[in-house]
Each structure stands twice: as structure tokens, then as C-alpha cells.
Amino acid sequence: MTGERADQLASNLRTVRTRIAAACAAAGRAEDAVALTVVTKFFPASDVALLAGLGVRAVGENKHQEGQEKRPEVVALRGCDDLTWHFVGGLQSNKAAAVAGWADVVESVDRVKLVRGLSRGAVERPKPLVVLVQVSLDPPDAAAGRAGALAEEVPALAEAVAQAPGLVLGGVMGVAPLGGEPAEAFARLHQAAERLQADHPGADRISAGMSGDLEQAVAAGATHVRVGSAVLGPRPVVQ
Ligand SMILES: *Cc1c(COP(=O)(O)O)cnc(C)c1O
């Protein structure tokens, strides 16, 4: 059973790595210019341990409780704590400090209200917490409640992160709009990243692209792609 799952993950991972390499080649970028984060939400610690054995170095979770529980399970299975854990989900300000207790990178910071809690949790860590500013790529008339800071909100948010003890501003993150054209959205994310780097030269990460649109993200300069279902298979449907 485990052997079958390991074979399936290895095969899927090979396919995704080939897609990333091909997209880098097509864009004239070095093959190692793009890092892979495998989004393991809904999948068990045993899958994360198998992925680590296959060379995956970074994993992503979108629920605080799931990540907080899964990380020690993976450490127990592997006997070491060598993965980088990314939080990519919607964040509530009352959970922010706790997320800093297990995540190494928080990609989904879209309002100043989250910064104080993240910082409070982060100063307890041995290493700083890397924070990405999530930029909204939705059209202005998109349904309320989608995540992401508006372009004009990014500078103040980035400054708040950069000033906060325990936090390091890493760059930007974006999710292509539902039903939209990903290439155009990722081009806007790239512009937001360039504006951010003018003020914060070290904040050079651009996290963009998922299973369905990683090629467009790599073409638009993504430095990190977040891939779930193309590696792990379809997730159970949730409302
Ligand atoms: C689930 C998720 C992903 C991965 O999506 P797939 O389409 O399964 O590759 C990437 N980014 C975020 C923010 C996610 O929540």
C-alpha cells in the first residue's frame, strides 16, 4: 500500500518537476530559478514524509490546526525536522501568533492587523518568520471576502512587516482570479513585486502558480510555485 502511494507520488512529482523545468526553459530562466512548495492540505503526515523522502524540501498548509498537528507527526515519522513549512491560507488575527509557532513562512498576510500577532509569535522562534504580502489579483468588482491586499495597500503593509520584530519581509504571493486569465494576473503580481523591491530590495520572492497555471506563473517571473493536486491527487470536495 505504502509502496504504491510512494510510486504514485514519485511519478506525479517527476511530472511536476518536468513541467517546471520546461516552463523555465521556455522563459529563458535557469532550471533552478523556481522552487517547488507542495501544498499538502487534506493529506496525511505519511504523504508528507514520503514526499520528503523524494526530495521535497517545502510543504504548504492552509489551516492552522492541520499544520500545527501535522508538523510534529512528520517529525516523528522521519526522525528529523528538516522541511520548511509554509502557511498559505486565510489567517485570523487571533490565530496569527500561534501560526508563527509552527510555520516558517506565512504567505497570506493581507492586512496590517495580522502583523502584531505574527510578530508576537515570531519573537519566540529561534529563527525569524518569513512573511509574504498576499496581493489581490481579482478584478475590482470581485466578490467580497477573497483574500489579498489591494495594490495601493501593499507599501504600508510591507513597511509594517519590515519594521516588526521577528519578521522578515520575503516578497509577494498571489492567486490567479477564478475564471480569469492567469497570465495577465501574474503580470500584475510581477509589477507589484517590482514596486515592493524598490523599497525592500531583499524581498525578492514571488509565490505564484498552482497545479493548473504554474507555466503562466513561471513565465511571469514566479520564484516559488505552490502545487497541490498535481502531486497528491484530487482533494476531497469541501463546501
Ligand atoms: C490549495 C492551494 C494551492 C494548491 O492548489 P492546487 O490547485 O491543488 O495545486 C496553492 N495555493 C494556495 C493558496 C492553496 O490554497
Closest ligand 1 atom to residue 210 Cα is 9
Measured on CA atoms in the order 160, 161, 163, 165, is the torsion positive or negative? positive
Q: Is 26 exposed, middle or buried (0-12, 13-18, 19+ CB in 10 A)?
A: exposed
CB 131 within 8 A of CB 170: yes
What is the CA(90)–ligand 1 centre distance, in A? 12
C-alpha grid cell for residue 70? 501535522
d(CA 230, CA 239): 21
Closest ligand 1 atom to residue 173 Cα is 13
- CB of 62 sitting under 6 A from ligand 1: yes
d(CA 143, CA 133): 20
CA distances from 74 to 37, 51, 82, 210 (A): 16, 11, 10, 23
C-alpha grid cell for residue 81? 525536522
From first to last of its 239 residues, the chain has per-residue pLDDT tens of 569 999 999 999 999 999 999 999 999 999 899 999 999 999 999 999 999 999 999 999 999 999 999 999 999 999 999 999 999 999 999 999 999 999 999 999 999 999 999 999 999 999 999 999 999 999 877 766 679 999 999 999 999 999 999 999 999 999 999 888 999 999 999 999 999 999 999 999 999 999 999 999 999 999 999 999 999 999 877 65
pLDDT (0 to 100) of residue 143:
66
Closest ligand 1 atom to residue 62 Cα is 15
pLDDT (0 to 100) of residue 180:
83
pTM, rounded to two decimals: 0.96
pLDDT (0 to 100) of residue 237:
72
Q: What is the CATH number of domain 2-232?
A: 3.20.20.10
pLDDT (0 to 100) of residue 139:
86
- Annotate 197-209 with DSSP letters as a single string: HHH-TT--EEE--
pLDDT (0 to 100) of residue 145:
67
- CB of 182 sitting under 6 A from ligand 1: no
Cβ-proximal residues to 98 (8 Å cutoff; 6+ apart), any chain: 64, 68, 121
What is the CA(141)–ligand 1 centre distance, in A? 23
Scan for cell 487571533, then name that residue: 94
- CB of 88 sitting under 6 A from ligand 1: yes
Helical residues (DSSP H) of 123-181, grouped into ranges: 154-163
Q: Residue 116 phi/psi, 5° resolution?
A: -60, -45
